[in-house]
Amino acid sequence: MNDFVKVFAPASVANLACGFDILGLAIEHPGDEIIARKSNHSGLRISKITGDNGLLPLDIEKNTAGYAAKQLMITHGCQNVGVELEIHKKMPFGSGLGSSAASAAGAVFAISELLSLEISKREMLASAVLGEQRADGAYHADNVAPALLGGIVLIRDNTTLDIIELPVPEQLYVSVAHPEIEILTKEARNILSSVVLLNQHVKQNGNLGAFVAGLYKNDYELISRSMNDHIIEPQRKKLIPWFDDLKSTLIKTECLGTSISGSGPSIFALSKGAAKAEKVHQIMESFFQNLVIEHQVYTSKINCKGAHRI
């Protein structure tokens, strides 16, 4: 058994244009750090939170990471072991980067390591999803699964957490631009119509299937042709006034595709190769500089490790 573990859990990009609520991938940075250590008190408590501007609750029942950790401990019958959790937020909230998912994924992984539970990451997933549900009200794994497992993940069914780890093409890069404008996930969800036109459903289904095939075939052109969102993007972009401008600028860079990251306001783009990804990165930087909007841009390969000890 360990007395102390420190874990990094990455940010993630959900939806990926054609897979609303069912596709997500992990990026190299940013990410949250979770420290778990043994204590002499019985049960779990959160001893410290940094980087949250005082916004996150220390109450286990209300805290994403705390609730996820507690669920895992209950599942494995060790809810009375004394554990202290430190949560170091190193990415923004309400950014569309899966901030709460990273904390939940990091927390369950830290607990499993601290208590030497010897379970697979898939066995931790349900607890982490329950934790995330505290933050946005919905039980879905499109951020939690990539934050925990790494890679590109397809969720066949969010109810049963039937998860498929998709192949990651070697030269695939992801860039994400985060403008410092907060959009609450719940609001971005509430803006969505509860119905979809049948012909739009068919188009989106075709794109999703082709995107999955493109990953297996290592076919970047096919991945690119598939990255269209006929359903969600047209609705959510209304919350992001400069979206169309940035998108049309990015498309000219020969990136594979671009859309809203999760519920926004972050925008992501996939590229083939480091050179094109670097170009996308520069354009994202200068776009927000010109608008005089505080921002961060992150570019990396897909993070295939997910949550891991540091």
User: Which residues bind to a copy of itself, rule: CB under 8 A?
Assistant: 19-23, 154-158, 162, 164, 166, 192-199, 201-213, 216-217, 222, 225-226, 231
Q: Which of residues 40 and 193 has its CB atom nearest to a copy of itself in the complex?
A: 193
SS3 101: helix
Q: Please state at what angle helix 64-75 crosses helix 99-114, rounded to 10 degrees.
A: 40
- Residue 159 annotated among the catalytic residues of the structure: no
- Whether omega before 265 lies within 30 degrees of 0, making that bond cis, reads yes
- Residue 132 annotated among the catalytic residues of the structure: yes
Q: Which of 64, 185, 258, 299 is catalytic?
A: 185
Q: Which of residues 219 and 278 has its CB atom nearest to a copy of itself in the complex?
A: 219
Residue 82: CB minimum distance to a copy of itself, A: 40
Q: Which of 33, 84, 132, 233 is catalytic?
A: 132
Helix (H) or strand (E) holding 64, with range, is: helix 64-75
CA angle at 20 for the pair 259 and 191, rounded to the nearest 5°? 80
Q: Are 108 and 127 in contact (CB under 8 A)?
A: yes
Question: Rounded distance, CA 177 to CA 63, Å?
Answer: 27
Residue 229: CB minimum distance to a copy of itself, A: 12
Q: Which of residues 71 and 224 has its CB atom nearest to a copy of itself in the complex?
A: 224
Residue 28: CB minimum distance to a copy of itself, A: 24
Residue 232: CB minimum distance to a copy of itself, A: 9
Q: Are 163 and 118 in contact (CB under 8 A)?
A: no
Q: Which of residues 112 and 207 has its CB atom nearest to a copy of itself in the complex?
A: 207
Question: Rounded distance, CA 175 to CA 156, Å?
Answer: 25
The residues assigned a catalytic role are 132, 185
